[in-house]
């Protein structure tokens, strides 16, 4: 059975994942084989669509790691297609209001509780082979929406967003937040850190799990950030991205060998 993201998030145990921005199942193999427990397939900034994301999710399943997909926007149709493809969680970017969060959650649930279209002839449903009532019960328990809050407006509305029934977790985007604040990508700025800290405290206070991106390409800084956020109650971390990690490995090899 493939690792379940909800179980990871709710366990309170430290868990590490990354972003999959390279359209390669082999890269997802390496993510899993090197000990990461989940990956977020990036259909917002990765240059591929849900057809590719489905195959990356198959690679995640084969390596027993959990997978989510970051969609380009809060589109109910895209959310439903991602879930039908067997990707159990969707990350919704630029989420700024409770109403937007409610819309995302509704798209993950079958009627009468939500908007998700009911089709047994899809990958997640076993292509009409599985028992439908059992499948629906399993989907209701394991799929969900993760709100990515990454703008100043989202920070202002964080209490209402975090209180949205049915959200699996909250994620925060320090880089985008810095841009929305006019700080031009300075995600280390003290005001960015203050606002992210406020969002973390709000989520933890309401019992909502937090997924914290750790952007730094420097291992020691990343370790320091993980330690800091663990002290604030965060247990799930999205480390770099496949591009950042591969680039770091390349640069270390070239730096070591070019002088020989």
Known catalytic residues are 45
Long-range contacts of 131-138 (CB under 8 A, 24+ apart): 136/110
Task: Write the pLDDT tens digit of every residue in 144-192.
Answer: 999 999 999 999 999 999 999 999 999 999 999 999 999 999 999 999 9
Give tens-digit pLDDT for 198-243: 999 999 999 999 999 998 888 999 999 999 999 999 999 999 999 9
Instruction: Answer yes or no: are the C-beta atoms of 153 and 96 closer than 8 Å.
Output: yes
pTM for the full predicted model: 0.95
- Count of C-beta atoms within a 10 Å radius of residue 26: 9
Which distant-in-sequence residues (6+ apart) come within 8 Å of 23 by Cβ?
46, 47, 48, 52, 56
- 133 contacts: CB under 8 Å, gap ≥ 6: none
Q: What is the pLDDT of residue 231?
A: 96
């Amino acid at each position: 059975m493939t690792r379940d993201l909800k179980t990871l998030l709710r366990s309170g145990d430290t868990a590490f994942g990354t972003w999959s921005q390279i359209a390669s199942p082999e890269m997802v193999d390496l993510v899993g084989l090197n000990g990461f427990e989940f990956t977020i397939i990036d259909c917002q900034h990765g240059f591929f669509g849900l057809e590719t994301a489905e195959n990356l999710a198959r690679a995640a399943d084969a390596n027993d790691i959990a997978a989510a997909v970051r969609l380009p926007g809060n589109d109910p149709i895209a959310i439903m297609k991602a879930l039908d493809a067997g990707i159990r969680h969707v990350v919704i970017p630029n989420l700024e209001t409770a109403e937007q969060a409610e819309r995302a959650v509704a798209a993950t649930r079958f009627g009468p509780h939500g908007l998700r279209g009911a089709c047994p002839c899809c990958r997640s449903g076993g292509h009409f082979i599985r028992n439908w009532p059992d499948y629906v019960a399993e989907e209701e328990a394991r799929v969900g929406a993760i709100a990515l809050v990454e703008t100043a407006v989202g920070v202002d509305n964080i209490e209402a967003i975090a209180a949205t029934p049915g959200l699996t977790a909250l994620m925060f985007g320090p880089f985008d937040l810095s841009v929305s604040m006019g700080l031009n990508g300075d995600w280390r700025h003290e005001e960015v850190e203050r606002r992210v800290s406020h969002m973390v405290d709000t989520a933890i206070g309401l019992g909502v799990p937090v997924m914290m991106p750790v952007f730094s390409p420097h291992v020691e800084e990343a370790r320091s950030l993980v330690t800091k956020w663990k002290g604030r109650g965060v247990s799930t971390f999205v480390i770099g991205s496949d591009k950042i990690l591969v680039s770091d490995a390349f640069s270390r090899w070239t730096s070591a060998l070019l002088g020989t």
